[in-house]
Amino acid sequence: MNPLMPLLFGLLLFNPSAQTLADPQTELQENRRYFQNLFPKLTLQDYADGVYAIDPISRESWLAIEEFPPYEPQLEQGKVLFERPFQNGKHYADCFPQGGIGIAQRYPLWDKQRGTVVTLETAINDCRQQHGEAPLPYQKGDMASITGYMASTSRGKVIHTEIPTDDPRALAAYNQGKDYYYKRQGQLNFSCYSCHTQNAGKQLRSEVLSPMLGHTAHWPTYRMLWGELGTLHRRFIDCLVLLRIPLIPAQSEPLRNLEYYLSYQSNGIALNGPSTRK
């Protein structure tokens, strides 16, 4: 039996009012109030620690691991890959403001020219293709190493995701990501909201469910289950598999819009990734 089945029967009824908030900023404020009431001892920045902000026993182990983080070799490799020139002599630094250093907190962003959400991973592959290089797979490997290095240069910088008011397509993308977060799907009839808002802090078998605030602050992440760094979209897809939801590709439009929604809701939280998780 799927380990989520016991939780299925214990879920609270879906709260439709959560989907009818007036605008992104209003929803951000409502979410902050909800989690402040749920976890009154936490500061906004605490949410960057994910489940370790609300699970003191696991937090002790996590802090011990972070003293000698297992992802350091991949960050070193990511720096080497980031600085290695393409065959035409150009570099990743030529594709990004500030040479790609200290900019991870700006992603995902809205590309008005193309009318789409651009994540750091898609920006990296855009850069590669612009200079005649093959795209990298999105979930792990070199992509996770490069984004891990870039994220490490943005530690301490606050998430700053904008929804341009002069382009209604940006708000539409945000709302599509929001709809995906709330939509119940799959054989178990779960949504992201079911676990990470409605039941945040509750226990699923031996695991505590993390709150949605700060979900984009610590990626890419070294998961013990993976034994390597993986991207946020790799984690998205893991959840789809676990919940028996039809799979869609990493960096597909629905998942990019979901990241856009989650990142906006985490505005003001400083990046602390890469990090480790179970």
Partners of 111 in the beta sheet?
Answer: 116
Give me the catalytic one of 95, 192, 195, 239. Answer: 239
Two tokens, residue 70: 């297992």
The residue length of the chain stands at 278
What are the tokens at 235? 């984690």
C-alpha of 13 from chain center: 26
How would you list the strands of the sheet with 228-230, edge to edge?
Answer: 228-230, 221-223, 275-277
The single residue listed with the structure tokens 């505005």 is: 267
CA distance 185 to 182: 9
Distance (Å, whole) CA 259 – CA 30 = 19
- Identify whether 239 is a catalytic site residue: yes
Kindly list the catalytic residues: 239
